[in-house]
Chains A and B, each alone.
Chain A
Amino acid sequence: MSEDLILVEADRCIGCSICKLICSISHTGAFNPKRGLLAVRKDLFSGDVLHPRL
């Protein structure tokens, strides 16, 4: 497990933020996408998903 890394396929991302919500509730006990330990930021004007990372 220690060698694992999470990969994001940006092309498949729909920008729903569910990943940030589940991350924040399990690490902080509350729903707060700004405290999710990953960032998948969508640009709704260009259609890009920017800088998927964690």
Chain B
Amino acid sequence: MSIRAGGFVVINASKCTGCKACMNACPYGAIFYDEVEGVCVKCDLCMGEALCAKWCPQGAIKVRGFERSLRMGREDPEGRSILGGRLDRGYGEIFQGLLGGVGIVARILWNEVPPEVGPFDPGNKLIFMTGPLTGTIAPCSAKIVVGSKSPSLHPVEHSTKSSVGGDWGPELKYAGYDGLVVEGRAERPVYISVLDEEVEIRRATGLWGKGTFATQREIAHQLGRKVETLCIGPAGENLSRIATIQTQTGRASGHSGFGGVMGSKNLKAIAVRGTGDVKVADPKRFLEVCEYAKSLMVPHPMGGGGGGLGWTRALPDKRLLPFSKYRRRYFSCHSCPAACDGFCSVPGVGSGSEKCDGWFYRDYAYDYHGDGSEEGDRAFFHATLMANDLGVDCFELVSMIPWLARMRDRGLIDDDSIGLPLGRIGSMEFAEKLLRSIALREGPAGILSEGSARAAEILRGAEELYEALWFAYGQNQHDDVRSYPIVALLWAFDSRDPMIDTHAIRHLLVTRLLWPEPFGVKERERDAICERIFGSTEVADHSNYRGKARAAAICQNYSRAFSALVLCDWTVPIFSSPSTKDHMGDPTVLNGLLSAATGLEFSLEDLLLVGERIYNLERAQLVREGRRRGSDTLYEYWFSNPDPGGRVVPREEFEGAKDEFYATRGWDPETGIPRPERLRELGLPDVAEALSRCIKDPG
């Protein structure tokens, strides 16, 4: 080591033996050991412009004169079972056709999960898949796609997917793996640890029954190092159909019920630590595209430039603003400038993530206790933390609670029959009872653990009320199918809540028109954007179904493409941007990032073709599980009950748009089955052959 002029310490790597004496001596803890090179390393301020300061989305890192430095602290530095798994080290020959994420998930489901396998059978697979951008600095690239047969979908337990952010996916990449497939079932509770090369299935006896917060801490303690952990809570252990797979304090693979699948495998958690590299083919170009992408996204209305879900600031909410006094900071997922997770500490309740999906109890708590009351704050946040700790899907509760209230009002249930204090919805006691009943299957309300759709079949007379709060497939309402024809279509064709499509379309067509500058989009700007993305402005006219089928297909191709990469649906595909003069976005950043990362040149059209291929593969799996044109629909309620504006989903127009959709997709309009010739054109000949057998059986 030597000291340059001005007291700046530099390490000469060629002389360093890696003895770590300098690390012990440095009062600032500023010297690190590079395990790859076996030498001590230290910041060199990039010999000029410090890049960490330049890239920090928060402006939290600054280069200052030495005299203003701060003193900074130092940091002290069996159970084998029949559970099997695979760690995939490369996408191999299917990479180019399906890229990663949702594409590989769809392929593994098709190849390995036949229709007769139920979600809780040992033969079901639980797939965790990263994409070609995971682990890089690409903005909003932290998510992984989870895929499996879903216990929550209703009435058919279709194959579907979900996603989860945090830091787990990138950590798996640093450990040297692209994905993880869990199959079989352990004889007794276990968890999996992946520490670079060392992969072990360990006993989880002391962990079973614990909440997700304690589980993550305990595993880090057992392994003696910082790990990223995906785990289930008691809800997943008890095979609730609305159980989540959680990481951190509020990130979840939520809406497909995969927590129960993990529980059925007796798998409590998967802990990962990776120390390896993730490389890209052309780092210089990659960083340029990342900077360009970030410039379009920040300040992003979904966060960035200060953190948090920006729309909560754009549309001030009288119940959210007072609660912000509990917010300690914003947290983001790995490599994401948006920081949508508002970390809150409420005295007497606890600390954790606060996001939109955790608001399921907010209005009830304040209606019950009064706006601005601390009792309301506590009841609301306690419910949020408890749902995340027990591993119950918050989003299901958004509709389940009003459904229970309506059933109470109609006299279909009372406190005794359901075992819940229905007169005290909004109290901490009600939330606790409800969540415990679901997670532990306690008392009469334990049937709610089956999810609202199945509970409605058991509770007599409840189905009609149920339909008024759910849209289709046992998935509760999200967005508006009566006001926005394209939303109705996206719902009709998907296996689950199509939020990866509707987030983008809602921002563009609805929400942004209401927002102030710089987030707001004017109508003529929106029309120009629609022309560019959809080749027509018809999609923005919500009075009819013209052009919506084609636009829905384009949306689906986009969502499958960016979910193959994998990027977060909150922030891509960048149809519009708050930073350009005309608010025009630029989705070519998607193929730009992919090309620079892989060294294979992709145009936007190439990428959207991959999206179409994935959508068809997903459809083939649904068809094989019994899906046909007749089930591409919404609950009857939405066709016959007008909204306050007098709108219903017009059945004839809706069916006409479906004809158009099947034609656009090259699917048979009678059955909704992809035609074999289209599947062959898309490079899926084996799928074409298998499906042609299904056509003989119209379902």
Contact = CB atoms under 8 A, between A and B. Distances in A.
Interface of A: 1-39, 41-42, 44-47, 49-54
Contact of B65 (A4, A13, A26, A34): A4
B57 A47 contact: no
A49 B699 CA distance: 56
B277 A28 contact: yes
Given A2-B7, A26-B46, A34-B174, A21 B136 contact: yes
Contacts of B434: none
A15 B249 CA distance: 14
Contacts of A9: 60-62
Nearest to B167: A17
B303 to A, nearest CB: 9
Interface in B295-350: 307, 328-337, 339, 343, 345
A5 B137 contact: no
Can you list the 5 inter-chain pairs with the closest CB atoms, starting with the nearest?
A: A2-B6, A30-B277, A12-B60, A19-B52, A14-B339
B442 to A, nearest CB: 27
Interface of B, secondary structure class, is: loop
A18 B226 CA distance: 18
B128 to A, nearest CB: 20
A49 B339 CA distance: 14
A3 to B, nearest CB: 4
Contacts of A32: 36, 174, 275-278
B137 A6 contact: no
Contacts of A15: 331-332
27 contacts: A2-B4, A2-B8, A3-B8, A4-B50, A5-B64, A6-B52, A7-B61, A7-B69, A8-B60, A9-B62, A14-B57, A16-B335, A17-B167, A17-B335, A18-B55, A19-B55, A22-B54, A32-B276, A35-B277, A37-B44, A38-B52, A41-B75, A44-B331, A46-B351, A51-B74, A53-B75, A54-B52
Nearest to B328: A47
Interface residues of B, number: 81
B73 interface: yes
B57 A16 contact: yes
B65 A5 contact: yes
Given A14-B332, A54-B30, A6 B50 contact: yes
B514 interface: no
Nearest to B134: A31
A15 B90 CA distance: 29
Given A2-B4, A8-B60, A39-B32, A16 B339 contact: yes
Contacts, number: 191
Most buried by A among B4, B43, B287: B43
B161 to A, nearest CB: 25
Nearest to B41: A37
Interface string B265-281: 00000000011111110
Most buried by B among A6, A9, A10, A46: A6
B73 to A, nearest CB: 6
B307 A19 contact: no
B8 to A, nearest CB: 4
Contacts of B283: 25, 29
Contacts of B332: 14-16
Given A2-B7, A18-B337, A42-B331, A30 B278 contact: yes
Given A30-B277, A51-B29, A14 B329 contact: yes
A27 to B, nearest CB: 8
Contacts of B30: 53-54
Given A18-B137, A31-B277, A45-B351, A53 B52 contact: no
B66 A16 contact: no
Contacts of A49: 329
Given A3-B65, A14-B58, A23-B52, A37 B32 contact: yes
B424 interface: no
A19 B54 CA distance: 9
Interface string B68-109: 111011110000000000000000000000000000000000
Most buried by B among A8, A10, A44: A44
B287 A25 contact: yes
Given A25-B137, A44-B343, 15 more contacts: A11-B329, A12-B59, A14-B332, A14-B339, A16-B57, A18-B52, A19-B52, A21-B335, A25-B283, A25-B287, A28-B277, A34-B275, A37-B32, A37-B41, A47-B328
